[in-house]
Amino acid sequence: MFRGPARHLALVGQRPSFNDAELENAVQEDAATQEMLSLVLEEPDRWAMFLDIDGTLLNLAPTPDAIEVPEALPGQLHRLSNKLGGALALVTGRSLAFADTLFKPFAFPTAGLHGAEIRSATGMHTVEATTEFQALKHALTAEAEHYPGVLIEDKGAAVAAHYRLAPEYEKILEERMHHYAEFAGPNWALQLGKMVFELRPARSSKGDALERFFQSEPFKNRCPITMGDDLTDESMFAIANARGGVSVRVGTIGAPSCATNRLSSAALVRNVIAALAA
Ligand SMILES: [Mg+2]
């Protein structure tokens, strides 16, 4: 069962409703998006690509560690990056260090922790966890032992509580994460995602990360193509729309989004990447 979009809909008080016409629409939109992305090959010097990882390049997995990277994908991303003159960046909620392990031996320009960590072509910007935040992570990890199936992911300057395996704890976990957010203070913010609550550095977003990439080559003066599947990706969709670029929301129909295009699955995203890289 695919729970993510239902969760988003719950947040805005809507219910998912699928019918044949909408499904047909989605298929048409997929085709239109694939066709539009292939235009990239006609003018590779014009575009920069910003890609989310989990749920966009890779299928979502029951636990954060269980994601699988198809063997061909790192090489395809590398070839596509070369075609774009290096203007391809990964923009993820994972830590930068973890993102690097996924696509070895390549190290693409990357924004980690929703933009709190950035490695651009020109340099590195990272945030450190404070002593208080370290203590908070320990307290949260100890508390989570009372919620079987809830997984705590320590990302350094961020921490995520995943409840995909234990949805019955959603309510209590939300309350507890609000409590921890208060304790963390104004430098950290509570971020909701697909079956996850996360405390992340407050002064960062994926949209901010894009603006930072645009300050230097090879991204400068290029038009953004953004692809993502979750709430945190909306800020980069907004930047893409404002700069006259392309925003692609990945996933089943129904999730509210400011993206102008859609692809219905990560598998389709990979097909597009493979085609662009060929
Ligand atoms: Mg994602």
The mean per-residue pLDDT over the stretch 256-276 comes to 93
Q: Is 13 left (phi over 0), alpha (psi -120 to 50) or beta?
A: left
Beta bridge partners of 227: 51, 248
Residue 12 is predicted with a pLDDT of 32
Q: Is residue 240 a contact partner of residue 68, using CB atoms and an 8 Å limit?
A: no
Examine the domain organization and report whether 2 and 51 are in the same domain.
Answer: yes
Examine the domain organization and report whether 258 and 152 are in the same domain.
Answer: no
- Tens digit of pLDDT for each residue in 70-117? 999 999 999 999 999 999 999 999 999 999 999 999 999 999 999 999
Q: Which of 30, 52, 100, 208 is catalytic?
A: 52
Asked if residue 273 belongs to a domain, the reply is no
Q: Is 114 left (phi over 0), alpha (psi -120 to 50) or beta?
A: left
Sheet strands (E) in the chain: 47-51, 88-91, 110-112, 117-119, 124-125, 151-154, 159-162, 188-193, 196-201, 223-228, 246-250, 261-263
* Token pair belonging to 130: 């404070």
Closest of 207, 171, 196, 258 to residue 91, by C-alpha: 207
Compute the distance from residue 231 Cα to the ligand 1 centre, in Å: 8
Compute the distance from residue 229 Cα to the ligand 1 centre, in Å: 5
Compute the distance from residue 142 Cα to the ligand 1 centre, in Å: 27
Examine the domain organization and report whether 82 and 167 are in the same domain.
Answer: no
Compute the distance from residue 21 Cα to the ligand 1 centre, in Å: 27
Q: Total domain count for the chain?
A: 2
- Our answer to whether residue 52 is catalytic in this structure is yes
Asked if residue 82 belongs to a domain, the reply is yes
- Tens digit of pLDDT for each residue in 23-79? 777 778 888 888 888 888 889 999 999 999 999 999 999 888 899 999 999 999 999
Examine the domain organization and report whether 87 and 190 are in the same domain.
Answer: no
Examine the domain organization and report whether 52 and 178 are in the same domain.
Answer: no
pTM of the model: 0.82
Range of the domain at 258: 1-6+47-57+74-126+204-230+242-267
Burial class, 222, CB count within 10 angstroms (exposed 0-12 / middle 13-18 / buried 19+): buried
Compute the distance from residue 52 Cα to the ligand 1 centre, in Å: 5
